[in-house]
Amino acid sequence: MNKVNYQKELDKLLDGPEREQRHVPALFLHSCCAPCSSYVLEYLCKYFRITVFYYNPNISFAEEYQKRVEEQKRLIAAYNAEAKGYPIEVVEGDYEPELFFRLAKGLEDCPEGGERCFRCYEMRLRETAARAKEGGFDYFCTTLSISPLKNAEKLNEIGKRLAEEYSVPWLPSDFKKKDGYKRSVELSAEYDLYRQNYCGCVYSRLQREGTPEGTNV
């Protein structure tokens, strides 16, 4: 079976006949961190009114969580000041690391990119879908697919399933395409963003110790 090109699906949506309508669709966008969101926001803010949802209970350490969320807010403020596109809003979800530890129980030694990560994807996307429905958004999505270490096929699979469950359209995406990851690195340097070298959970930190600095969310 041929793999789906989610970037092409997104291109079709962005260039479709609905673009001629006056209504600017509202996107509820889960963000894992400022560096990963940098390109995604630059790219999509010309097409959508975006509300960034910062919800990441997988981040095991409160100090690390706070550092990342402040960087997210700083980047959005900078983008809005520069008027890169439609104004971007931000909503911070609850910081509930105990939720992540419960879903990770028994999978502590699972390699990064495996079942523990898939459960983490769904935890964050489920909350995003629920909030998107509650807020009456036209679409929901996540920045996670920009990372070369994240499984875009699995993210889209989960997103589509939750879209049916919550009756909110999923925005198909694979943001690493079109040099998206490369652009995020450039933007991180331009805005002097903090770039962590592990996903956020203690297990990924232990697995990634000693690797070169660079985002891995």
| Mean predicted confidence (pLDDT) in 198-207 | 85
35: pLDDT strictly greater than 90? yes
CATH topology of domain 24-208: Rossmann fold (3.40.50)
Average pLDDT, the chain: 92
User: d(Cα 137, Cα 123) in Å, to the nearest integer?
Assistant: 19
The predicted structure's pLDDT at residue 17: 55
For the chain, which residues make up each domain, given as ranges?
Answer: 24-208
* C-beta separation of 173 from 141 below 8 A: yes
Q: 3-class DSSP state for residue 92?
A: strand
User: d(Cα 34, Cα 201) in Å, to the nearest integer?
Assistant: 17
Say which residues have a Cβ less than 8 Å from residue 70's Cβ, sequence separation at least 6.
Answer: none
| Mean predicted confidence (pLDDT) in 185-208 | 90
| Mean predicted confidence (pLDDT) in 15-41 | 87
pLDDT band at 115; cut points 50, 70, 90:
very high
Any idea which of 1-15, 47-61, 122-136, 165-179 has the lowest mean pLDDT?
Answer: 1-15
* C-beta separation of 154 from 118 below 8 A: yes
| Mean predicted confidence (pLDDT) in 189-209 | 87
Q: Rounded to two decimals, what is the model's pTM?
A: 0.92
